[in-house]
Structure 1
Amino acid sequence: MRRLIIRKALLPAVCLFLLIPIGCGKVEKMENTNLFFNMIMQDGADPWVYKHTDGFYYFTKTTGDNVTVWKSPNLTTLDTGAKKVIPTGGHGIWAPELHYIRGAWYIYYAMDDGDNVNHRMYVMENTSEDPTQGFWKQKGQITDETNRWAIDGTVLQVEDELYFIWSGWEEDINIRQILYIAHMSDPWTIDSERVEIARPVLSWETNHSPNVNEGPQVIIRNGVINLVYSASGSWTNDYCLGLITAEAGSNLLDPASWTKRDEPIFKSANGIHGPGHHSFTTSPDGSEDWIVYHTAKYDGAGWNREVRAQTFTWNEDNTPHLGEPVNPNQPISLPAGEPARVRFEAEKGTFGGGAAALESSTGSGGEKAGHFSEEDSYVEFSVKVDQEGEYALLARTANGAMDGKTSHFLLSVNEGRANELYVVHKAWENWGLSTAKVQLQAGDNLIRFAKGTGEAELDFFDLRPLFFSGTTK
C-alpha cells in the first residue's frame, strides 16, 4: 500500500509535499499542485457568487423551492462550504442573488405559485454580519407598476444610486424576454417606471422561440458599465453571453444610454456547450477577475447543467474579454491566493475486488481507476496528516452507465461508516466533480472508494484543509 504524507497542511503559504514509498524503501518526493480542472459544482444552474470584505465567498444557485447559500474561504471549494437553507414558502425559485447593500444582506429571487406565468421577483433581508446566520425577513415582491412576469433580477449600484435590472415580458404572453431597468428608492422598492434597455433582435438572439435576453449581470470598470447578459435558448447549445454598455455618468433610465454589441462575447467552444447565466468575482488576493457560469453537461443536455469558473481579462475599452470556455480536460491555475492542494492520482491507489488502473485519454495522468463492477470493488489510499481536522475532498469522477442513472461511490475514512459520494451521469471520460467533507486524524488515515449504486470511475482526488466547519440549517 502506498503512503501519502501531507505536511504543514494548514499553512497555505507553505508548500506541501508527498512522500511515496516505491519499491523496496525507495522514496520519491513530490510537490502539491496549484492546478485544477475548472468545474466548481457538478450540478447546478444560475450561479451567483459574491466575495465579501470578510474574505469569504458566498454562493447561491437555483435549488428549487428554497434559497440555499454556501460560504467558503476559497472559490474552488464552494461545494464543501458551510450551508444555509432558507425556506421561501413558494415554488419555482429561480436564479437567486445575494447582495450586500447599505450594511445589510439582500436576496433577490424569482418565485411563482406553481405556474410559470406567475413568476415575479421577491426580496428578503438579513442584517446579520454573516448571511448564513441570523434571520431572513421577507420584504415581499419587488416590482414596477406593470407587475408583469419577471425573473433574474439584479442590483446595479452607481455611486449612491440603486437600480434594479431584470428580464421580463412586454405583455402577459411569453413571446420574448426583454431586459428592463428601474430606479430604486431602497433595496426593496422600485420607484420609477420600467425602461426597456435590450430586447432580442440579433440573429443569435432570435434563433429559438421564445426569444430570450435574460440573466443580466453588471461589472463596472473605469466608469464603463458592462451589462453582460444571456441570450438564445437556455435549453440549447446556442445559449451564450452578450454585452450592453453604458457610461456611469449617463442617464441610465434613457434607453439611448445603452449600446448592445453585435456579436456574443462568450459562446460554446472546446467541448463546452451553452455557457450562460453567470456572475463575476475576484481571486482571494484580488489580483484576478473570474467568471462563474453554467454550461450544459454534454452536447444537447439542455437544462441539465453544471457550474464552471475561469479567469478573464479586459479590453482597452474597459469591456470584459471573456475569451472561450476552457477545455474541460485542460488544467488551469487555482485562483491567485488559494492554497495549493494535495492530489492523489487514482491509478496509484491499492485495488481490490476487480477494480483496476485503466488507460484514460482524458485522465489527468493518462490513467484512471475503473472496473468498479463487483460488490467488493474498491481502491484505497493511506494518507498521513500532521493535524487533525476536517478536510475538503474533491474527486474528479465520471459515470457513463447505460441506465443513465446516478451512481455513487461508498466513501469511508479509517474503516468508519461509508457515505455515498454522488457521481453525476454524463458519459465515461466526461468528468464531473464529486465533493465531500472528511474528518482526518493526526497521523495515518485510510481513505477508501468502494462500489456503491451503479458504476463510476475515479481520475483523482484532491485534499485541502477546511478553514472552518459546520453547517447551519
Structure 2
Amino acid sequence: MRFYLTLFLVAAFCACAKSENLPKDSVETTFTNPVWNGADPWMVKQGDDYIYCFSRNNGIAVSSSKLMTKREPAKTIWKAPSTGWNSNCVWAPEIHFIDGHWYVYYAAGVSGPPFIHQRTGVLRSINDDVYSEYEDMGMLNTGDNPEDSSKNVWAIDMTVLEHNDKLYAIWSGWLEQRDTDATPQHLFIQEMENPYTLKGKRVLLSSPEESWETGGPLNLNEGPQVLKHDDQVFIIYSCRESWLKEYRQGMLQLKDSGADPLDPESWIKTGPVFEGNDSVHGVGHVSFVKSPDGTEDWIIYHTKKTTEPGWDRDVRMQPFTWNADGTPEFGEAVKAGKPLKRPSGEVEIEQN
C-alpha cells in the first residue's frame, strides 16, 4: 500500500509541476521580430517539425523544433575540410528531404576574399534522420561543359524544384568564370539526373535587367526560392546588393503548370514583390513554411540591422496571403518590436 501511495504522490507532484511550469495563461500569444541573429534563413517543415539549416564556424548546422518562433539548440552536421575546393567560405546552406534522404546544398570556396572560388556542393544523410551522419557527394558542375569539370563556373544559393515528376536545380551564378567578385550574378536552371547530379546543360533563366533590380554598384539575381500554390509555381529571388538597404525580392512565375521550366519564355518576371521601408532594411534571402496547423503561409527572411553597408543581419518572419489571381501578397515588412500573432497552432503546441 505504501508503494502505491508513493507512486500516486509522485504522479500527482509531476502533474502539478508540469502545470505550474507552464500554466496556459502564461504562454505568450504574440512574438516580435527579429526572432534571432543570422542570415540566409532556410526553414522547411517536415511532418510536425521545423528544420532550420544554417552555416556556422565554417560548417553547417541544423536544428529541429515543433515551433517556428523558438529555435532549438543546433547540431553541426558537417565541417569544412582543412584543404580542398570547399575548405572555406561556407555560405547559405539549404536542406531538402528527397526520396528518403536529406540533401544539403551549400556554397563554398578555397579562399576569400575576393570570393571568386565559390562553387556548389551537396551532402546526403545516410538515413531519414536529419541529425544523422552526412556523406559528401561532391561539387556540382555548374558550367557550360558537363563533360569538363575544370571549366566549372562560380555558383551559390542552389535550391531545387520538383515539378511534373522531374527535379531541377536553380542557382545564382556567373556567365563565365572571372578573376573579380565584382561580377553580375544571374539565375540558372538545369534538370537533375538525381539530387546530386546535374543533367544536360544549364539554362540562363533571369538576369538583373529591370529598373527595380538594377541601379547600384553591382547588379545581382540571387537567393532563388521555390514557392507553390495550388497548381502555380513561383521563384522568389533576391536582387540589388546584399550589403545595401535596397536589397529586395523579385518574382518569376511559371506561365502554367504544363510549361517547360527550362524555357526562359515560360516564366513571367515581376517585382519588387517584397522590399524594405523606413523601418526595415535590406529584405532578402527568403524561405517559406506553413503554420503548425497548416492554415497559414509564412515568409522567413533576413534584414540588415542598420542602413550602413555591410552584412550584419537578423532573421524575421511574418504571415502572407494570396491574391485573387493566385499570386502571393507579402504585404509590408513589419518593423522590429511590433507584436505579431504567433503562427496558428503554435500556442496550442506549447500549452500541451
Cα pair 1:142 1:189 within 8 Å, conserved: yes
Q: Which of 46, 66, 72 is equivalent to 2:40?
A: 46
2:19 aligned counterpart, secondary structure = coil
Deviations 1:390-418 (A, max 9, x none): xxxxxxxxxxxxxxxxxxxxxxxxxxxxx
Q: Provide TM-score, normalisation by structure 2.
A: 0.86
Give every structure 1 segment of 4 or more consecutive aligned residues whose post-TM-superposition deviation is greater than 6 Å: none
The residue identity in structure 1 corresponding to 2:184 is R
What's the counterpart of residue 241 of structure 1?
A: 249
Is 2:99 the counterpart of 1:102? yes
Is 2:299 the counterpart of 1:256? no
Q: Which of 137, 140, 143 is equivalent to 1:139?
A: 137
Q: For 2:141 and 2:17, locate their aligned partners in 1 and report how far apart those are by CA, in whole Å.
A: 53
Cα pair 1:268 1:274 within 8 Å, conserved: yes
What's the counterpart of residue 121 of structure 1?
A: 120
Alignment map for 1:293-308 (pairs within 5 Å): 293-300=301-308, 302-308=310-316
What's the counterpart of residue 218 of structure 1?
A: 226
TM-aligned CA deviation for residue 322 of structure 1: 0.5
Task: Name the CA shift for 1:9/1:126 in 2 (closer, same or farther; >3 Å).
Answer: farther
TM-aligned CA deviation for residue 319 of structure 1: 1.5
TM-aligned CA deviation for residue 118 of structure 1: 1.0
What's the counterpart of residue 370 of structure 1?
A: none
Is 2:332 the counterpart of 1:324? yes
Alignment map for 1:170-189 (pairs within 5 Å): 170-173=175-178, 174-189=182-197
Cα pair 1:109 1:152 within 8 Å, conserved: yes
Alignment map for 1:283-302 (pairs within 5 Å): 283-300=291-308, 302=310
Cα pair 2:100 2:127 within 8 Å, conserved: no
1:201 aligned counterpart, secondary structure = coil
The number of aligned residues is 319
TM-aligned CA deviation for residue 335 of structure 1: 0.7
Alignment map for 1:323-362 (pairs within 5 Å): 323-339=331-347
Q: For 2:73 and 2:293, locate their aligned partners in 1 and report how far apart those are by CA, in whole Å.
A: 19
What's the counterpart of residue 165 of structure 1?
A: 170
What's the counterpart of residue 88 of structure 1?
A: 80
Cα pair 2:185 2:221 within 8 Å, conserved: yes
Task: Name the CA shift for 1:74/1:127 in 2 (closer, same or farther; >3 Å).
Answer: same
TM-aligned CA deviation for residue 142 of structure 1: 1.3
What's the counterpart of residue 67 of structure 1?
A: 60
Alignment map for 1:354-433 (pairs within 5 Å): none
Cα pair 1:93 1:109 within 8 Å, conserved: yes
Q: For 1:144 and 1:56, locate their aligned partners in 2 and report how far apart those are by CA, in whole Å.
A: 32
Deviations 1:373-393 (A, max 9, x none): xxxxxxxxxxxxxxxxxxxxx
Gaps spanning 5+ residues in structure 1: where? 18-30, 342-463, 468-473
Is 2:60 the counterpart of 1:36? no
Cα pair 1:195 1:253 within 8 Å, conserved: yes
TM-aligned CA deviation for residue 33 of structure 1: 2.8
The residue identity in structure 1 corresponding to 2:61 is T
Q: Which of 69, 83, 91 is equivalent to 1:76?
A: 69
1:77 aligned counterpart, secondary structure = coil
Deviations 1:410-439 (A, max 9, x none): xxxxxxxxxxxxxxxxxxxxxxxxxxxxxx
Deviations 1:263-320 (A, max 9, x none): 3011112511011001001111111111110000122253100000010001122211
What's the counterpart of residue 24 of structure 1?
A: none
Structure with the higher helix share, 1 or 2? 2
Q: Provide TM-score, normalisation by structure 1.
A: 0.64
TM-aligned CA deviation for residue 209 of structure 1: 2.5
1:256 aligned counterpart, secondary structure = helix
Q: For 1:152 and 1:9, locate their aligned partners in 2 and report how far apart those are by CA, in whole Å.
A: 45
Q: For 1:335 and 1:6, locate their aligned partners in 2 and report how far apart those are by CA, in whole Å.
A: 27
Higher CA-based Rg: 1
TM-aligned CA deviation for residue 87 of structure 1: 1.0
What's the counterpart of residue 426 of structure 1?
A: none
Cα pair 2:248 2:272 within 8 Å, conserved: yes
Is 2:148 the counterpart of 1:156? no
Task: Name the CA shift for 1:245/1:215 in 2 (closer, same or farther; >3 Å).
Answer: same
